[in-house]
Amino acid sequence: MFRILILFLIFFTLSSCSSPEGTWGWYVIDPSTKAGWTNIKFLVGGFYSTILLSIIAAFLSIFIGLVVALPAMSDNKLLQLFNRVYVEFIRSIPLLPMLFWVFYGLPVILKSMGINANIDAFWGAIITLAISDSAFTAEIYRAGIQSISKGQTEAAKTIGLNYYQTMRYVIMPQALRRILPPLANQFIYIVKMSAFASVIGMQELTRRANEIVVTEYRPLEIYTLLIFEYLILVLLISFGVRYLEKKLGSNESANS
């Protein structure tokens, strides 16, 4: 595998050397030149939107996911059906069509209902990411909560706790340790999927990279930098989650 990679790299470098342009063009993002520095500042400026977009979408998804997951555990068949329909339907929609639908389609629906809402690229992307992701977080919650034995709920009942108290003090603290790792995974997924927001004009990391590529004709160098920008973000999240896991004790094996 490693050898193939090296071969590929050599081939790649050589072929780029013999291309009409002749050489690599790292000058487009060379911080020692004024033009290069301007480009870097522009590209890195996308961090703000990507991070804000991802965090808001993730929070909404965590909330919606819980609201969708809890009915799955009720005895009410209708509530269970709601959960199933939501999860199956939402997770079957590819992100890109959903983004188009929310951005171009939702305002039309709202208008027909008499609501004059203008959904900008930022909120269009957030709504799409949050809803699309919530189907997955809902399944994560369900798996986590159902992994807690029924005896815990029964014991809570016999000491007089109501549904909310049982969830809050007995089930969720135990489920959370099991839910956190897959939930962090979903957050990383959101950060990466936020790149789709570029197609509706959201000025985040990927959009900015595209814009520089169009003016500089240097896709290889700029997209390489873009990849490293996402890498940094994801590594930061990973470290943060590690820390949280340690605090919550998710890394200890469950013993119940």
Partner 1 sequence: MENTFAVEIEGLTKSFKDFKALDTIDLNIKHGEKVVICGPSGSGKSTLIRCINGLEDFDEGKISISGNTQNPKKESYVSDFHIGMVFQQFNLFPHLSVIENLKLGPMKSLGLSEKDAETRARGLLERVKIPEQALKKPNQLSGGQQQRVAIARALCMEPKLMLFDEPTSALDPEMISEVLEVIVDLAREGMTMVVVTHEMGFAKKVADRIIFMDGGSIVEQNSPGMFFKNPQTARCKKFLNQILHH
Number of residues that bind partner 1 (CB under 8 A): 21
Q: How many other C-beta atoms lie within 10 A of the C-beta of residue 163? A: 13
Instruction: Write the interaction track for partner 1 spanning residues 92-131; mark x where CB under 8 A is met and - where it is not.
Output: ----------------------------------------
Min separation Cβ 152 and partner 1, Å: 6
- Return the residue of 15, 112, 116, 255 that touches partner 1, per CB under 8 A: 255
What is the per-residue burial (b if ≥16 Cβ within 10 Å, else e) of 91-115?
Answer: eeeebeebbeebbeeebeeeeeeee
- Return the residue of 152, 185, 210, 224 that touches partner 1, per CB under 8 A: 152
Interatomic CA distance for residues 193 and 199, integer angstroms:
12
Q: Is 160 in the site for partner 1 (CB under 8 A)?
A: yes
Interatomic CA distance for residues 68 and 80, integer angstroms:
9
Min separation Cβ 243 and partner 1, Å: 19
Min separation Cβ 252 and partner 1, Å: 11
Q: Is 157 in the site for partner 1 (CB under 8 A)?
A: yes
CA distances from 193 to 95, 187, 190, 197, 231 (A): 8, 10, 5, 8, 13
Residue 243 in contact with residue 237, Cβ under 8 Å? no
Instruction: State the residue for tokens 């909330």.
Output: 63
Q: Is 256 in the site for partner 1 (CB under 8 A)?
A: yes
Interatomic CA distance for residues 93 and 41, integer angstroms:
35
- Return the residue of 113, 115, 159, 214 that touches partner 1, per CB under 8 A: 159
Min separation Cβ 154 and partner 1, Å: 5
Q: Is 78 in the site for partner 1 (CB under 8 A)?
A: no
Q: Which residues bind partner 1 (CB under 8 A)?
A: 75, 149, 151-152, 154-162, 165, 169-170, 173-174, 254-256
